Structure 1
Amino acid sequence: MSHRHHILATLAVAALLGACGAKEDLKPPANQPAPVVPIGADRAPTTQELTTPDAQARPARSDELLKRSEQREPDDFDLPPPG
Structure 2
Amino acid sequence: MTRLVLFAALLLAGCGAADGLQPPPGGKLPVAPVGARATPTPAQLLTPTTQQRPLRNDELLRRSEERRSDDFNLPPQ
Shorter-chain-normalised TM-score: which range? Answer: 0.5 to 0.7
Q: Can you give the 5+ residue segments of structure 1 that lack an aligned partner in the other structure?
A: 1-8, 77-83
* Separation in structure 1 between the aligned mates of residue 63 and residue 19 of structure 2, nearest angstrom: 50
Cα deviation digits, residues 40-77 of structure 1 (max 9, x gap): 1111011111111111121111221111112245596x
Question: In angstroms, what is the RMSD of aligned CA positions?
Answer: 2.8
Q: Which residue of 1 aligns with 2:59?
A: 64
Q: Which residue of 2 aligns with 1:4?
A: none
2:32 maps to 1:37: yes
What TM-score do the two structures reach when normalised by structure 2?
0.62
Q: CA deviation at 1:33?
A: 3.5
* Separation in structure 2 between the aligned mates of residue 67 and residue 49 of structure 1, nearest angstrom: 39
Alignment of 1:4-83 (within 5 A): 13=8, 16=9, 17-21=11-15, 22=17, 24-72=19-67
Aligned residues: 64
* Separation in structure 1 between the aligned mates of residue 56 and residue 30 of structure 2, nearest angstrom: 33
Letter in 2 for 1:20: G
What TM-score do the two structures reach when normalised by structure 1?
0.58
Using the aligned pairs only, state the percent identity: 44
Larger helix share, 1 or 2: 1
* Separation in structure 1 between the aligned mates of residue 18 and residue 28 of structure 2, nearest angstrom: 24
